[in-house]
Amino acid sequence: MPPIYISYLNRLDVAALAMTDAEILAAIETALAAQGRGEAVIEPRVHLEPGVANGHFNVLRGSLGGSIDAAGVKVVGDFVDNYKKSLPSELAVLTLFDRFDGRPKAILDASGITDMRTGAVTAIGAKYLARKGSKVLGHIGARGTAYWNVRLLDSLFDFDEIRVHSRRPESRDGFAAKLAADLGKPVVATEDWRSCVAGADIVVEASRLDAPQPLLKTDWIKPGAFVVPYGTMSAVELSLTDIMSKLVVDDWGQCKGGKFGSLRAHVETGRLSETTLHAELGQIVAGLKPGRERDDETILFWHRGLSLSDIALGHAMLAKGERLGIGQRLRFA
């Protein structure tokens, strides 16, 4: 057997890569287009609940063709109380493989990848589904993915007003301060959900609830808005889908089943189904189905997280690391 080597990028390596907003968005848009063209295989995520803490592990699996041409598996822990240990709520590892013979190709710290690719999917969704003149963002939640939601959305829309809210004052105030410093514009931390999202052009709900609770009211949504709910537990009313002109998801296979997800009850009650679903985002990016067609359309995009996005961003990081001499090469066999 010939020797097998794997590339390894730890958290410090990923930070040293300093991936730009444009690099992140390009990698994710490429993967979404490939998915839309049918050049990918996605297996619905599975969950491991260890039963000893307030959290679980997500296991995401996929195979992506085109220029990326790799298979991958990501395991990400999602533990709500990690802030008490000064740890991020999500810690992850991504493994990449040759999809023709199964050789392991790389191991990457995927905590940052998870945050970046989630924000990029939100932003690419807005690129195709939000009104072009959207200038007010309302964002619920301040966990790791939230930063990249706001940062990458602002890179596309250059908002006049950004509002953020989370349950703990120290969390939302710190989040707003970091965003303001990094984006070079004011960011308002609101004390309640309504003042954050009411009348916003783009609404992102990334809350961390222990159990489903309808905190995001349908009446607060502005006609023509773009709404992205993706909390693990639902924070929206059942009536939210009733006001939507289009319902879009990242992958229907993942969204239609499983225990978790912000629109789980909407699937179970038939409000979101093969009949009411407009498209998967990849189909829109690939030009196979239309995105926003009129300014007065109110559109919802639910994304549960794509293994393909992890694979694509991991691939882009490895390529940049090779160019810059960042990372390690390890003997596997």
For 291-322, write each residue's pLDDT tens digit: 999 999 999 999 988 899 999 999 999 999 99
**90: confidence class by pLDDT, cuts 50, 70, 90:** confident
- Name residue 291's amino acid: G
Query: CA geometry: angle at 59 spanning 143 and 86, to 5°?
Result: 30
- Contact at 8 Å (CB) between 147 and 119? yes
Contact 117, 24 (CB under 8 A): yes
Structure tokens at 323: 């160019």
Task: Say how far apart CA 156 and CA 131 lie, in whole Å.
Answer: 12
**296: which DSSP letter?**
T
Residue 260 in this model has a pLDDT that exceeds 90: no
Q: How many other CB atoms are there within 10 angstroms of residue 293's CB atom? A: 10
Closest-CA residue to 124 (of 43, 31, 224): 31
- What is the signed CA dihedral for 316, 319, 321, 324, rounded to 10 degrees? -120
Q: What is the mean pLDDT of residues 32-59?
A: 92
Query: Is 213 or 229 the better-scoring residue by pLDDT?
Result: 229
d(Cα 113, Cα 118) in Å, to the nearest integer?
Answer: 8
H and E: helices and strands count for the chain: 10, 15
Helix (H) or strand (E) holding 286: none
Both tokens of residue 27? 């990698």
Compute the CA torsion angle 126, 132, 137, 143 (nearest 10 deg): 20
Place of tokens 């309504």: 194
Query: 5 pLDDT exceeds 90?
Result: yes
Residue whose C-alpha is closest to residue 314's, from 28, 4, 3, 2 = 28
Measure CA 209 to chain center: 17
pLDDT digits (tens, 9 = 90+) for 160-199: 999 999 999 999 999 999 999 999 999 999 999 999 999 9
Q: With CA atoms as reference, report the closest residue to 164 among 156, 183, 298.
A: 183
- What pLDDT sits at residue 99? 95
Residue found under tokens 């190709």: 105
**At 253, is the pLDDT very low, low, confident or very high (cuts 50, 70, 90)?**
confident
The position carrying tokens 């493989």 is: 97
Query: Using an 8 Å Cβ cutoff, are 332 and 6 in contact?
Result: yes
Q: What is the mean pLDDT of residues 118-132?
A: 97
pLDDT band at 146 (very low <50, low <70, confident <90, very high): very high
| The model's pTM | 0.92
**Please, what is the end-to-end C-alpha distance for the chain in angstroms?**
9
CA angle at 98 for the pair 92 and 103, rounded to the nearest 5°: 90
The whole-angstrom separation of Cα 322 and Cα 5 is 14
